[in-house]
Amino acid sequence: MSIDPFLRIYMVKGTRFAPPFELNKPLDGGCIGEVIKSKSSQFKVGDYVKANFGWREYWISNDAQIEEKSISKVDPTLAPLSSFLGLLGITGMTAYVGLFKICSLHERHDTVFVSSAAGGVGSVACQLAKIKGCYVVGSCGSDAKVNWLVNELGMDHAFNYRKIGFDNITEELNRAYPNGIDIYFDNVGGKHLEAAFNNMNTFGRIALCGTTSQYNSEDMTYSSKEDQQRSRSASLGPANLSLAVSHRLKLQGFIWSDHFDILGEFNTNMSNGLGMAKYN
Ligand SMILES: NC(=O)c1ccc[n+]([C@@H]2O[C@H](COP(=O)([O-])OP(=O)(O)OC[C@H]3O[C@@H](n4cnc5c(N)ncnc54)[C@H](OP(=O)(O)O)[C@@H]3O)[C@@H](O)[C@H]2O)c1
């Protein structure tokens, strides 16, 4: 069975910002629901709402939760309801926050590198940067994904890190960015981050979004012991952190849910066409 890499952490020990899953309790995660009874002045029967109260069929909420804004209304006329759990939900918000808030992306100027570029967050980050007229390169783990990124999403370049090998990512980036990288949207950490350091421009910005390469102690997708060992060592690092000093890089880890202050801006920009603009 395949599992979201980050969910593995919740299965084992949780994080400092969220506790582990509990036995015999509903799994956590975003949900969309329809209001079927209401005494609230803010929500009426038939409204659709988004909340993070576990995957379940029914939920009774109270004023305190509404007060702390952990429940928000969604507008089903803007997009299909499922979009509010993807492009207009955590996935989209994470990409948006990382690019625009953490890295202050400069339209039609910045060169942008995205790892896990064909994943949920990565593919949105790639498309947003492209819509803003940036040069965008993505890293992913198969030729089919490379093909999708370049020929369907319109990225300037993509490469298969499994095929070229972790030790050659620096070289690949060097070729792809003759003038250096301004923004690195990091979903994986490890060797990708190390290779990005080697190619960042002075005053470059790095959004530390995830460390997928470190979530699993063993990557079962590698068949031989040798490949597994290579995968493990690829998760270590970066060993060249000193470049962050000499290149005056800005690195910032972030969690999407700390940025509800821009929720209104995000909803407006993402649903008014930002996600649908033509960039080829
Ligand atoms: N900071 C936040 O607020 C926030 C919010 C949501 C998600 N995240 C993080 O953002 C990252 C992406 O999330 P997502 O939901 O978009 O994930 P996703 O769609 O499940 O993508 C994960 C991808 O990571 C790649 N991968 C797996 N092992 C790897 C390795 N050893 N080295 C490099 N790549 C590897 C795989 O793609 P390939 O086959 O192409 O390698 C996999 O499909 C995760 O780290 C997640 O924890 C952060």
41 with 126, same domain? Answer: no
148 with 176, same domain? Answer: yes
* Alpha-carbon span 82 to 70, nearest angstrom: 18
Query: What pLDDT shows up at residue 274?
Result: 56
Residue 116 near residue 135, CB atoms below 8 Å: no
In a domain, 280, yes or no: no
In a domain, 82, yes or no: no
140 with 60, same domain? Answer: no
60 with 187, same domain? Answer: no
Query: What pLDDT shows up at residue 200?
Result: 98
* Alpha-carbon span 57 to 69, nearest angstrom: 21
Please give the backbone phi and psi of residue 205, each rounded to the nearest 5 degrees, phi first.
-120, 135
In a domain, 27, yes or no: yes
The reply to whether ligand 1 has any atom less than 6 angstroms from the CB of 111 is: no
Query: What pLDDT shows up at residue 69?
Result: 65
**In testing the pocket of ligand 1, which one of 16, 93, 162, 212 has its CB within 8 Å of the most ligand atoms?**
212
Per-residue b or e along 75-112, where b marks 16 or more CB atoms closer than 10 Å to that residue's CB: eeeebebebbbebbbbbbbbbbbbbbbbbebeeeebbb
Q: How much distance in Å is there from the Cα of 3 to the middle of ligand 1? A: 11
111 with 186, same domain? Answer: yes
108 with 64, same domain? Answer: no
52 with 137, same domain? Answer: no
31 with 122, same domain? Answer: no
Query: Where is 128: in which H helix or E strand?
Result: helix 120-131
Query: What pLDDT shows up at residue 228?
Result: 65
In a domain, 21, yes or no: yes
Tally of domains in the chain: 2
Q: How much distance in Å is there from the Cα of 119 to the middle of ligand 1? A: 6
Q: How much distance in Å is there from the Cα of 188 to the middle of ligand 1? A: 6
In a domain, 167, yes or no: yes
CATH of residue 58's domain is 3.90.180.10
50 with 97, same domain? Answer: no
187 with 114, same domain? Answer: yes
Give average pLDDT by consecutive 10-residue segment, the chain, 280 residues: 55 67 80 93 92 84 75 85 89 96 96 98 97 97 98 98 96 98 97 97 97 67 62 74 96 92 86 54
Domain that holds residue 59: 5-74
In a domain, 271, yes or no: no
Beta strands in the chain (DSSP E): 31-34, 48-51, 71-74, 111-114, 135-140, 157-160, 181-186, 200-208, 250-253
CATH of residue 131's domain is 3.40.50.720
In a domain, 174, yes or no: yes
Q: Crossing angle, helix 190-199 and helix 169-176, to 10 degrees?
A: 40
